[in-house]
Amino acid sequence: MTRGPRAGTKRVTLVDVAAAAGVDKAIVSRVVNRDPTLLIRPETRVRVEAAIAELGYRPNLSARSLRTAKTGILGLVIPDFSNPVYAQIIAGAETAAVSSGNVLVTGSATGAASPAAYLDLLGNGRVDGLLIAGGAPSTQEQRILDSLDIPWLLVNRRDRKSRRYVILDDAKSARMAVEHLVELGHTEIAHIAGPKTTDTAQRRLTGFTEAMSEHGLRTPASRIVVGEYTMDGGAEAAAKLMSSRRRPTAIYVANVAAAVGVLHQLSALGLSVPGDVSVVTTHDTELASHVMPALTTVRMPLRELGARAVRSLLDTPPDAQVELLLADDFTLVQRESTAPL
């Protein structure tokens, strides 16, 4: 294959790629833009894609925008960059965006995704589509989004007013956690749930209560304590939970950050994990393996969640329903925080 200009000397163009692959410039353009009507021999397509990779060709987004009225940019709004769960979602979304010839721009707002932020992005034509994680739009905001004729999806959240979302089977993660504790011989199992207004927390609570019921185990109200998805929230919930006269021997915590707070609070109370209390949580982030004791978790496919959200955003029209529940590739990762009763 003929080599084109070396990276760093000048911008690689469609002409350079076409010369290297031995095809017309129009063919390269249609391959880059994933034209579904393009009919070429498989070996030709492979040759063009190899030339693109070898020369380091990148589409000129500003020029493409002028021709197609598209920016080639997708937006992702999340509540908090410091949350390790969102870091994995972002990684998966970014990989899928780049592989489809787009750029992912991520923005954050404190507490919850700012309606003004994402409506401004879409209303000014700065992005071709938007992923909204961490909070669902209000009815009014959703109406505005729909009127813009630009695709958008909720990620890791489901809202009754919206039929456009990609979520994980949170109830399944809770059931797996309870199954693990029951297999270890625990029957006095408590749950530190997430906020009542959070969709993921409600699905995990449902999975927990269903699994307990299936095993014939009681779940008194005192064994379910609501807390924020934060370390402080977990610590406060654990303090309340362990103040009861009949303490549980195991706790399923709905969020990994909250679970770290639970570990600290149990230690402050002079309780050993897992000697006195076993702790298991949802989400296997790097944080889970770097605390003492290392947390047993239910690993969920967060990267795949981000990737599937991008692909769904690109593949469906703005007014189409997208109700996608990912239930595969869940894994129980046993570490030091759980042990037989």
Q: Report how far Cα 221 is from the mean position of its chain's Cα atoms.
A: 31
The pLDDT of residue 331 = 97
Residue range 27-56: mean pLDDT, rounded: 82
pTM for the model: 0.76
The pLDDT of residue 210 = 97
Strands of the sheet with 224-226, listed across from one edge: 224-226, 189-193, 250-253, 278-282, 296-299, 331-333
Query: Domain residues of the chain, as ranges?
Result: 14-59, 71-168+303-326, 170-300
170-300, superfamily in CATH? Response regulator (3.40.50.2300)
Residue range 321-341: mean pLDDT, rounded: 94
Residue 12, helix vs strand vs coil: coil
Residue range 200-223: mean pLDDT, rounded: 96
Higher pLDDT, 332 or 75: 332
Is 60 exceeded by the pLDDT of residue 115? no
Range name among 197-206, 213-222, 315-324 with the lowest pLDDT average: 315-324
Residue range 14-59 forms a domain whose CATH class is mainly alpha
The pLDDT of residue 7 = 43
Distance CA 252, CA 333 (A): 14
Is 80 exceeded by the pLDDT of residue 143? no
Higher pLDDT, 76 or 300: 300
The pLDDT of residue 281 = 98
The average confidence (pLDDT) of the chain is 85
Question: Where residue 1 falls among pLDDT bands split at 50, 70, 90?
Answer: very low
pLDDT in tens, 120-138: 666 666 788 888 887 667 6
Q: In terms of C-beta distances under 8 Å and separation of at least 24 residues, what long-range contacts does 137-141 make, across chains too?
A: 137/162, 141/115
CA-wise closest residue to 291 among 252, 262, 271, 332: 262
Question: Where residue 9 falls among pLDDT bands split at 50, 70, 90?
Answer: low
The pLDDT of residue 193 = 98
Question: Exposure string (b/e) for 24-51, b if CB count within 10 Å is 16 or more?
Answer: eeebbbbbbbeeeeeeeeeeeeebbeeb
The pLDDT of residue 43 = 86
Is 50 exceeded by the pLDDT of residue 111? no
CB atoms within 10 A of CB 1: 12
Domains 71-168+303-326 and 170-300 share a fold: yes
pLDDT in tens, 261-307: 999 999 999 999 999 999 999 999 999 999 999 999 999 999 999 99
Residue range 158-182: mean pLDDT, rounded: 91
Distance CA 156, CA 21 (A): 42
Higher pLDDT, 126 or 102: 102
Question: Where residue 110 falls among pLDDT bands split at 50, 70, 90?
Answer: low
Domain 71-168+303-326 has CATH 3.40.50.2300: yes
Residue 142 corresponds to which tokens in the numbers above?
Answer: 């959703």
Strand duo 129-133 + 152-155: pairing: parallel
pLDDT in tens, 236-258: 999 999 998 889 999 999 999 99
The pLDDT of residue 4 = 45
